[in-house]
Chains A and B, each alone.
Chain A
């Protein structure tokens, strides 16, 4: 099995501090700098969390697919771990995007769920598809085969996302408030600054959590390896059912 011995936690404190600073700035800008939207009032403020969460979710799924391609090409387990983490955290952020979207829908249109809204419906379908990633991994015992099949899934799902958005959009009337018009940016300047700051903040949060998860998994694998060497159990970890990639340490 290929070994993974890189230090995932190397830049973690720097990312964590940057995330805290940018997210605090984004909250400050959203609540105290950006103007109150004329139609929707204060409830529109959820836009500064909902839209960045949605964009970062899609980015996470796309990177999950790219890392999966890298795994299929190279067979290196670190790419599988990256793909797994990106999709795992993407799913968490997708849940956040669905919940905030639902709250926004209740505030803007008086309903928790609106089927006419193509972006929200597309997210639900994408969420349902990516929810199968963990059960799929969990149902394959052999770690190498698990990684390979999960990578195939990640590539298929990554390509599926834009096709799904196209199909749902063709089938639905447009009522979702468009952040950017087809001809260009439609946000007023003050809102734009707050929005981009929130986007960078949420993206940094995503990267930090992903790095934390990879670092945590790697540390646990190292600790388990040390315990095995002390107790003389050998290098190979005992077989165990898990959806997470198995990390081999030197």
Chain B
């Protein structure tokens, strides 16, 4: 009888990612909730600010606060099914590298955030945004959404891994994630501001560098520390 080899990180990641996406496709919960949340918050902002159109710093603030709060919904749901249905125990019993769980969960969250981010940017431009960005500005905004969502996905997966073992899961997720995301929000709102202004503007390199640094640091931290969160 030949001994079966343990799965590689890549194949384990692929298996968990496939499971996550299949779960969301068969029983859509997280994505639809996040998208509906964004649309509702834009409507609330319309009435709360009493403005039909917004631009510049205010537009950047409204867009990114909405996306961040929507991201908290996704982060909060990240490990819930695994914890409640025993998927986490099953994964820990398998001889798969635990890094695979981190990569798969972060990738799943990133995919969800990107879909919601682009959907939200689109309806935001229809519902609230005054100026019409040109193609270059849309491309810059897409780059910002990608970099910011990568950071949110990394921090979010780390926080979700911590919060899932606590009693007050939802509370812990929010109070931990929001302060940790402040540097990212500073960078992304400052970078978005000229893109959403009347007359338009260009993307400042230093905010892209800060976002890149944030993603790199939290990527390394998540890689180094995630194993301690799934020891038992």
- Could you list which residues of chain A lie within 8 angstroms of chain B, going by C-beta atoms? 72, 125-126, 128-129, 131-132, 135-136, 139-141, 145, 148-149, 151-153, 155-156, 159-160, 163-164, 166-168, 170-171
Q: How far is the CB of B45 from chain A (nearest CB, A)?
A: 21
Find out whether the CB atom of A164 lies under 8 angstroms from the CB atom of B221: no
Q: Does B50 contact A (CB under 8 A)?
A: no
Q: With A and B bound together, what is the CA distance between A50 and B99 in angstroms?
A: 43
Q: With A and B bound together, what is the CA distance between A159 and B207 in angstroms?
A: 19
Q: With A and B bound together, what is the CA distance between A17 and B63 in angstroms?
A: 56
Question: A135-B168, A151-B228 given as contacts; is B217 within 8 A of A159 (CB)?
Answer: yes
Question: From residue 215 to 232 of chain B, which have CB atoms closer than 8 A to chain A?
Answer: 217, 221, 225, 228-229, 231-232
Find out whether the CB atom of B229 lies under 8 angstroms from the CB atom of A152: yes
Find out whether the CB atom of A149 lies under 8 angstroms from the CB atom of B180: no
Find out whether the CB atom of B166 lies under 8 angstroms from the CB atom of A140: yes
Of chain B, the residue at the smallest CB distance from A128 is: B179
Q: With A and B bound together, what is the CA distance between A159 and B221 in angstroms?
A: 9
Q: With A and B bound together, what is the CA distance between A164 and B184 in angstroms?
A: 9
Q: How far is the CB of A155 from chain B (nearest CB, A)?
A: 6
CB-CB under 8 A from B221, the residues of chain A are: 155-156, 159
Q: How many A-B residue pairs have CB under 8 A?
A: 85
Q: Which of A129, A136, A170 lies in contact with B179, CB distance below 8 A?
A: A129
Find out whether the CB atom of A163 lies under 8 angstroms from the CB atom of B213: yes
Question: A149-B162, A149-B229, A156-B158 given as contacts; is B182 within 8 A of A125 (CB)?
Answer: yes
Find out whether the CB atom of B180 lies under 8 angstroms from the CB atom of A129: yes
Find out whether the CB atom of A167 lies under 8 angstroms from the CB atom of B179: no
Q: Does B46 contact A (CB under 8 A)?
A: no
Of chain B, the residue at the smallest CB distance from A151 is: B228
| Most central of A129, A156, A163 by chain B CB within 10 Å | A156
CB-CB under 8 A from A148, the residues of chain B are: 228-229, 231
Q: How far is the CB of A199 from chain B (nearest CB, A)?
A: 27
- Could you list which residues of chain B lie within 8 angstroms of chain A, going by C-beta atoms? 158, 162, 165-168, 171-172, 175-176, 178-180, 182-184, 186-187, 190, 206-207, 210, 213-214, 217, 221, 225, 228-229, 231-232
14 contacting pairs across A/B (C-beta < 8 A): A72-B225, A125-B179, A126-B179, A131-B175, A132-B176, A136-B162, A139-B172, A149-B165, A153-B162, A155-B221, A164-B182, A166-B213, A168-B186, A170-B207
Find out whether the CB atom of A170 lies under 8 angstroms from the CB atom of B162: no
Q: With A and B bound together, what is the CA distance between A132 and B175 in angstroms?
A: 6
Q: How far is the CB of A73 from chain B (nearest CB, A)?
A: 10
CB-CB under 8 A from B186, the residues of chain A are: 167-168, 170-171
Q: How far is the CB of B68 from chain A (nearest CB, A)?
A: 14
Of chain A, the residue at the smallest CB distance from B159 is: A156
Q: Which of B182, B210, B229 lies in contact with A170, CB distance below 8 A?
A: B210
Q: How far is the CB of B80 from chain A (nearest CB, A)?
A: 16
CB-CB under 8 A from B207, the residues of chain A are: 170
Find out whether the CB atom of A152 lies under 8 angstroms from the CB atom of B162: yes
CB-CB under 8 A from B179, the residues of chain A are: 125-126, 128-129, 132
Q: With A and B bound together, what is the CA distance between A140 and B232 in angstroms?
A: 14
Find out whether the CB atom of A163 lies under 8 angstroms from the CB atom of B214: yes
Question: A163-B183, A166-B210, A171-B190 given as contacts; is B228 within 8 A of A152 (CB)?
Answer: yes
Q: How far is the CB of A90 from chain B (nearest CB, A)?
A: 15
CB-CB under 8 A from B187, the residues of chain A are: 167, 170
Q: How far is the CB of B183 from chain A (nearest CB, A)?
A: 4
| Most central of B166, B168, B175, B210 by chain A CB within 10 Å | B166
Question: A125-B179, A135-B175, A156-B225 given as contacts; is B168 within 8 A of A170 (CB)?
Answer: no
Q: With A and B bound together, what is the CA distance between A57 and B219 in angstroms?
A: 27
CB-CB under 8 A from A131, the residues of chain B are: 175
Q: How far is the CB of A230 from chain B (nearest CB, A)?
A: 34
10 shortest interchain CB distances as A-B pairs: A167-B183, A129-B179, A139-B166, A128-B179, A167-B186, A132-B175, A139-B167, A139-B168, A152-B225, A171-B186
